Amino acid sequence: MPRPRIRPTEGHRKMVRTLSAYGVPQDQIGRRIGIRSAKTLRKYYREDLDRGTLDANANVAQTLFQMAISGKDPASTMFWLKCRAGWKDRPAVDFATSAPPPFIVAKEPGGGTPS
């Protein structure tokens, strides 16, 4: 007996996008909508899986950006600058290099040429 044919519904598509956005593994998403294999899920819902993840990342990035530019959350501003603008923490103290001590060569007493 053949397996029933998969016919994606708008409800299932929305659920796949939502669960993908939340970071639920694909095999669990498939089980939730009645698909046994993550490969089959990707075959029928590839665009929904990608879109859910992309939309979630875009929403979080937008929120972080708004927090960073508001001036009310300096941690968000620093996080943005370090991750996106390439800023780095540098030590507050500048360790200037000092001149090395003079190098002195001394002749050992009783020295001569080796025999």
Left (φ > 0), alpha (ψ -120 to 50) or beta: where does 108 sit? beta
pLDDT tens, position by position, for the chain (115 residues)?
777 788 999 999 999 999 999 999 999 999 999 999 999 999 999 999 999 999 999 999 999 999 999 989 999 989 988 988 888 887 767 667 777 778 777 777 776 666 5
For residues 23 and 58, the answer to whether their CB atoms sit within 8 Å is no
pTM recorded for the entire structure:
0.65
User: Could you identify the residue written with the tokens 């300096």?
Assistant: 74
Give 80's DSSP letter.
H
